[in-house]
Amino acid sequence: EYLTGHLPTHLKGLDAALFGGIPFGALTELVGPAGIGKTQFCLKISVLATLPSCYGGLDGHVIYIDVESKFSSRRLIEIGLNSFPEIFHLEGMAKEMAGRITVLRPGSLTEFTESLQKIKVSLLQHQVKLLVVDSMAALVSGEYEQGPPRQHPLGWHISFIKSLAEFSRIPVVMTNQVRSRSATEISNYSFQGERRDDCGNFDSHLVAALGIHWAHAVTIRLVLESRSGKRFIKVAKSPMSPPLSFPFKITSSGILL
Ligand code: GTP
């Protein structure tokens, strides 16, 4: 009952399937292979969160945790200019909108932990309407964390992020990369039988990296995948939506259905 608002993605079928868009107060995960468009999706929703409400935005600020240095202000502004020319072409507006997005680049798991603590304070002080973590799995990908592997290194972080989402009632979107075969496996699996075995629809490598706790913490899971040269976005886990899949394109305006 905490799903009391949404960030519309402006991807019409997806918004309809999610009863308005990315829900406030919950974790939404984007899963898919490298290069499928997870970062492009995050850039688009960041633009949307900063847009004035009369254009269907949240008129807010965004905190964007850019683990792999994939955030691009140039691309963000390009998406804004092409999707909402009437706003982004106004004098100084592109800069103002981009300035509403705070990009954090933690260089280690310790710095990520510190970032989360700072975010908690920012959420109280600023009009933050979206938190993005791109990507979660990269935080525990060998090169990132030094030292011996621990079984569930992000257990605390996941609980903390979920509590941030619930207490601030903002949408929290996180990405995770899977091998391309796994993305298809995940989406084929997701709606078989009752969804009580949440971990069954989860990539085994991700479970190893993020822990089973992760699979349960996520409220909405969107799987981005490629089939016969086309890209699809599938609602693979949702408390209210059937397993719908929508084709999408990546253009100069960002992600489009
Ligand atoms: P990983 O981070 O490697 O897991 O990938 P990702 O899923 O985040 O992919 P990303 O969002 O970076 O998408 C990459 C794809 O987006 C590319 O294959 C391009 O097709 C498209 N793309 C990226 N930048 C642009 C751009 O400036 N213009 C257009 N038209 N497409 C772009």
ipTM of the complex as predicted? 0.96
145-154 residue pLDDT tens: 555 555 566 8
Atom of ligand 1 nearest to the CA of 224: 7
Query: Is the CB of 65 within 6 Å of ligand 1?
Result: no
Query: Is the CB of 93 within 6 Å of ligand 1?
Result: no
Query: Is the CB of 69 within 6 Å of ligand 1?
Result: no
Rounded to an integer, what distance in angstroms lies between the CA atom of residue 238 and that of residue 163? 19
- Is the Cβ–Cβ distance between 247 and 231 less than 8 Å? yes
- Is the Cβ–Cβ distance between 140 and 209 less than 8 Å? yes
Nearest CA-CA partner of 235 in 193, 186, 198, 199: 186
Query: Is the CB of 121 within 6 Å of ligand 1?
Result: no
- Is the Cβ–Cβ distance between 6 and 20 less than 8 Å? yes
Closest residue CA from atom 3 of ligand 1: 34
Atom of ligand 1 nearest to the CA of 40: 11
Pocket probe for ligand 1: among 29, 31, 40, the residue whose CB has the most ligand atoms within 8 Å is: 40
> Over the range 82-107, which residues count as b (16 or more CB within 10 Å of their CB) and which as e?
ebbeebbeeeebbeebbebbebbebe
11-51 residue pLDDT tens: 989 999 999 999 999 999 999 999 999 999 999 999 999 99
Rounded to an integer, what distance in angstroms lies between the CA atom of residue 206 and that of residue 215? 9
Kindly give the distance from the C-alpha atom of residue 38 to the centroid of ligand 1, in angstroms, as a whole number. Answer: 7
Query: Is the CB of 201 within 6 Å of ligand 1?
Result: no
* pLDDT values of the chain reduced to their tens digit, one per residue, 257 residues: 444 799 999 998 999 999 999 999 999 999 999 999 999 999 999 999 999 988 889 999 999 999 999 999 999 999 999 999 999 999 998 999 999 999 999 998 899 999 999 999 888 787 999 999 999 888 876 545 555 555 566 888 999 999 999 999 999 999 998 865 555 555 544 433 323 333 334 556 666 567 677 778 899 999 999 999 999 999 999 998 888 999 999 999 999 98
Closest residue CA from atom 4 of ligand 1: 34
Query: Is the CB of 152 within 6 Å of ligand 1?
Result: no
